[in-house]
């Protein structure tokens, strides 16, 4: 069994009061085998999907122009957001440096840009 990589359980609140160990980036145009990716970090991701996630560890493939990246993941939480629509938080398991670098490239390529405020 893979060693779990924890990203959200420390008592240290980190920068600007964030309890996460990794900063998340909002995404657009990024798909995965688990659903449409809403945000992504080195520790996990949030997706929207029509399927309730399985109650076991799964392998998720992130699909981008940079290629596919397959990662083992565990469902951390589920929130129903409509009829047959769920937001799901996944925690990535055992992410090595090469996978982190690939995640950074994917995240940068699909980063959601917010409108400029005057």
pLDDT digits (tens, 9 = 90+) for 1-60: 333 323 332 223 334 444 445 556 777 778 999 999 999 988 999 999 999 998 899 999
Residue range 66-87: average pLDDT? 92
Confidence grade of residue 64 (pLDDT, cut at 50, 70, 90):
confident
The enclosing H or E element of 97 equals helix 97-109
Q: Which residue range(s) make up the domain with 51?
A: 24-109
pLDDT value of position 62: 92
Contact, 63 vs 31, CB < 8 A?
yes
Is residue 110 packed enough to be buried (19+ CB in 10 Å), middle (13-18) or exposed (0-12)? buried
C-alpha neighbours within 13 Å on the C-beta side of residue 87: 7
pLDDT of 2? 38
Q: Record the pTM.
A: 0.74
Residue 45 located in a structural domain: yes
Contact in structure between 78 and 91 (CB atoms under 8 Å) = no
Would 34 be classed as within a structural domain? yes
Asked whether residue 85 is domain-assigned, the answer is: yes
Query: Per the structure, how many domains does the chain have?
Result: 1
Q: Would you say residue 54 lies in a domain?
A: yes
| Residue 13 included in any domain | no
Is there a domain that residue 42 lies in?
yes
**Domain containing residue 33: CATH number:** 2.40.10.220
With respect to residue 4, please indicate whether it lies within any of the assigned structural domains: no
Residues 6+ apart with CB under 8 A from 16: none
């Amino acid at each position: 069994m893979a060693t779990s990589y924890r990203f959200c359980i420390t008592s240290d609140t980190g920068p600007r009061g964030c309890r996460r160990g990794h900063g998340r980036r909002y995404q657009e145009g990024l798909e995965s085998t688990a659903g449409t990716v809403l945000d992504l970090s080195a520790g996990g991701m949030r997706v929207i999907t029509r399927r309730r996630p399985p109650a076991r560890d799964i392998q998720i493939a992130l699909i981008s122009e940079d290629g596919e990246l397959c990662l083992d993941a565990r469902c951390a939480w589920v929130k129903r957001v409509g009829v047959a629509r769920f937001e799901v938080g996944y925690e990535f398991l055992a992410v090595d440096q090469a996978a982190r670098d690939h995640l950074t490239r994917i995240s940068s390529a699909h980063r959601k840009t917010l409108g400029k405020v005057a």
